[in-house]
Amino acid sequence: MGLVGLVDMGWKDLRIDLDVDGDHHRRDSKQYVKDQRTMRRLEQQARIVISCSSTRPASQTFLRTDKALWHAVFASEPRLAG
């Protein structure tokens, strides 16, 4: 499969993507739909997708990212708990 979409940061070999949603992602319904479609396509490729925005506490994003990286490195199957 070719290009699915763009994310802001990722660990290609670990199949983990981090996407930062700015305020325009919530206000623009077309952008929101496009973002959701991209996230579903990435998840269908067995990628872990972590979304973050100013509406979520940074600690939540850090914890989810830490768990995903830990599972990708130390577990037999990458899974995101919580």
pTM of this structure: 0.71
Q: 52-72, pLDDT tens digit by residue?
A: 888 889 999 999 999 999 988
Query: Residue 68 CB: number of other CB atoms within 10 A?
Result: 23
One-letter-per-residue 3-state SS of 18-76: EEEECHHHHHCHHHHHHHHHHHHHHHHCCCEEEEEECCCCHHHHHHHHHHHHHHHHHCC
For residue 49, how many C-alpha atoms fall within 13 Å in the half-sphere facing its CB? 22
pLDDT band at residue 35 under the 50/70/90 scheme:
confident
pLDDT at 2: 60
The more confident residue out of 4 and 58 is 58
